[in-house]
């Protein structure tokens, strides 16, 4: 079959290929992946079928049917994988920005009925069409930044009906546009307002009324916020173990504001990812590294936006052998940004990642954090044809042009968007 799409004259082709297939990248593998000079990527329909130097291009497969995308010496790389967002919500929290600037902390605002509770009120009150339209607006924004796969957590309903509604809307949003959406149930974000002071009863409600209504084939992940004011390590362990029993894969928000031990606990349960990790201590990091599979998802725009000084110890985590991914944590409270390129730059500036490590963290390791490593995250034959042509000639420019969007072309499933 002739190629349906050929991306030619890639000045630098960031393949992210050739690493271990049984575990995410870590240690030296985070940056020893190859960059091909003067290269091409060929696709048949939604799959990549060949990658290599221009000199080895099989011209017999290039016909009048082939769409040719001329990269003209630019950088070409896999589509970005955004592995941690809270995509579906009502309203916004712009009014709290001022309070934050005047010195109120995330937990202060939460305690006064603001923060997540105000988004819960707005989300419950919003009709489905509004929530769907908001989600589609944000997905279009992600796509402009070159994000081709987005994880989307529920968690602003906090009652059975609305949590199920948010998951349905995330799935509907996936069907309505090209960016792949991977839904996660984060019903256990904080206890619902009707369960104030009764977190264990709230979790019991989720296990009996929400999780049984979801199919792990359609909603692969269950997540929980393990933090003061949310759920304890013991409550989180009990809940995640029950979710695992029901067939879900596990994620956790942990060590965001305090070192409670949630990351180690979740890694012991075989969590696919542990997210935030700002306060993860070296002993627990060594425990996480020992399981070889759990990805630490670092979210550097969150401490930036919350005006906090502590960032996850990315360099130490890598040196301890923990696989690392980077994401925005897009949400209305602690990171209203969809700019994963800015997160990548901040991971270099504040967490000690090198540009190549940060690029692996928003592509292949982010795919591992969604258990989609066989499908996306690198440019290799057999993988989905999700790729970007950037408006830079050298990968080192990517974190350097701080806050810019380097994307020139986005291809999703073999189709130029
Ligand atoms: Zn989050």
pLDDT tens-digit profile of 333-383? 999 999 999 999 999 999 999 999 999 999 999 999 999 999 999 999 999
Q: pTM (2 decimals)? A: 0.97
Are 153 and 223 spatial neighbours (Cβ–Cβ below 8 Å)? Answer: yes
Are 90 and 130 spatial neighbours (Cβ–Cβ below 8 Å)? Answer: yes
**What is the whole-number distance in angstroms between the Cα of residue 393 and the centre of ligand 1?**
33
Average pLDDT over all residues of the chain: 96
Query: What residues form the annotated binding site for 4-imidazolone-5-propanoate?
Result: 93, 156, 189, 256, 334
pLDDT of residue 108: 82
* Cα separation, 155 vs 150, whole angstroms: 16
Q: Which residues neighbour 44 within 8 Å (Cβ) at sequence distance 6 or greater?
A: 1, 3, 4, 414
**What is the whole-number distance in angstroms between the Cα of residue 408 and the centre of ligand 1?**
29
Nearest one of 120, 145, 123 to 134, comparing CA atoms: 123
Are 164 and 156 spatial neighbours (Cβ–Cβ below 8 Å)? Answer: no
The helix-helix angle for 128-144 and 160-176 (nearest 10°) equals 50
pLDDT of residue 105: 80
**What is the whole-number distance in angstroms between the Cα of residue 246 and the centre of ligand 1?**
23
pLDDT of residue 104: 85
pLDDT of residue 53: 98
* Cα separation, 337 vs 306, whole angstroms: 13
Query: What residues form the annotated binding site?
Result: 84, 86, 93, 156, 189, 253, 256, 329, 331, 333-334
Q: Which residues neighbour 355 within 8 Å (Cβ) at sequence distance 6 or greater?
A: 348, 395, 396, 398, 399
Q: Which residues neighbour 225 within 8 Å (Cβ) at sequence distance 6 or greater?
A: 155, 186, 188, 189, 190, 231, 253
**What is the whole-number distance in angstroms between the Cα of residue 85 and the centre of ligand 1?**
6
Residues lying with their CB under 5 A of ligand 1, a single-atom ion: 329
Nearest one of 417, 374, 301 to 48, comparing CA atoms: 374
**What is the whole-number distance in angstroms between the Cα of residue 29 and the centre of ligand 1?**
27
Q: 196 is written with which tokens? A: 């104030």
* Cα separation, 273 vs 288, whole angstroms: 10
Query: What residues form the annotated binding site for Zn(2+)?
Result: 84, 86, 253, 329
Are 210 and 164 spatial neighbours (Cβ–Cβ below 8 Å)? Answer: yes
**What is the whole-number distance in angstroms between the Cα of residue 225 and the centre of ligand 1?**
8
**What is the whole-number distance in angstroms between the Cα of residue 99 and the centre of ligand 1?**
21
Q: Reduce the secondary structure of 173-214 to three states and give it as a string.
A: HHHHCCCEEEEEEEEECCCCHHHCCCHHHHHHHHHHHHHHHC
For the chain, which residues score pLDDT lower than 50? none
**What is the whole-number distance in angstroms between the Cα of residue 80 and the centre of ligand 1?**
18
**What is the whole-number distance in angstroms between the Cα of residue 190 and the centre of ligand 1?**
12
């Amino acid at each position: 079959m002739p190629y349906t799409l050929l991306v030619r004259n890639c000045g630098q082709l960031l393949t992210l290929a050739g690493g271990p297939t049984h575990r995410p990248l870590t240690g030296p593998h985070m940056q020893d992946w190859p960059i091909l000079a003067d290269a091409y990527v060929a696709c048949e329909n939604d799959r990549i079928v060949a990658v290599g130097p221009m000199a080895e291009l099989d011209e017999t497969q290039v016909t009048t049917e082939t769409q040719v995308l001329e990269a003209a010496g630019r950088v070409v790389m896999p589509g970005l994988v955004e592995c941690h967002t809270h995509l579906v919500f009502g309203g916004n929290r712009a009014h709290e920005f001022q309070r934050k600037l005047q010195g109120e902390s995330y937990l202060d605002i939460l305690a006064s009925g603001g923060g997540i509770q105000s988004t819960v009120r707005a989300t419950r009150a919003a009709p489905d069409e509004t929530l769907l339209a908001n989600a589609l607006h944000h997905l279009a924004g992600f796509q402009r930044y070159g994000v081709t796969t987005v994880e989307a957590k529920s968690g602003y309903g906090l009652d059975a009906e609305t949590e199920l509604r948010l998951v349905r809307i995330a799935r509907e949003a996936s069907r309505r546009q090209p960016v792949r959406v991977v839904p996660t149930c984060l019903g256990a974000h904080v206890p619902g307002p009707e369960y104030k002071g009764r977190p264990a009863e709230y979790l019991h409600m989720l296990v009996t009324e929400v999780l049984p209504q979801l199919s792990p084939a359609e909603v692969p992940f269950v997540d929980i916020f393990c933090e003061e004011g949310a759920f304890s390590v013991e409550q989180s362990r009990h809940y995640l173990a029950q979710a695992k029993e029901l067939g879900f894969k596990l994620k956790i928000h942990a060590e965001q504001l305090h070192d409670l031990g949630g990351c180690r606990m979740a890694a012991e349960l075989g969590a696919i990812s542990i997210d935030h990790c700002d306060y993860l201590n070296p002993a627990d990091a060594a425990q996480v590294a020992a399981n070889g599979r759990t990805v630490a998802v670092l979210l550097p725009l969150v401490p930036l936006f919350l005006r906090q000084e502590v960032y996850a110890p990315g360099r130490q985590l890598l040196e301890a052998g923990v696989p690392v991914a980077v994401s925005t944590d897009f949400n209305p409270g602690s990171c209203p940004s969809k700019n994963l390129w800015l997160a990548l730059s901040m991971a270099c500036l504040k967490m000690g990642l090198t540009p190549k490590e940060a690029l692996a963290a928003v592509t292949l390791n982010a795919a591992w954090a969604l258990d989609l490593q066989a499908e996306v995250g690198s440019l290799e034959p057999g993988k989905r044809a999700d790729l970007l042509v950037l408006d830079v000639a050298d990968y080192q420019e990517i974190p350097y042009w701080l806050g810019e969007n380097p994307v020139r072309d986005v291809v999703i499933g073999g189709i130029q968007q």
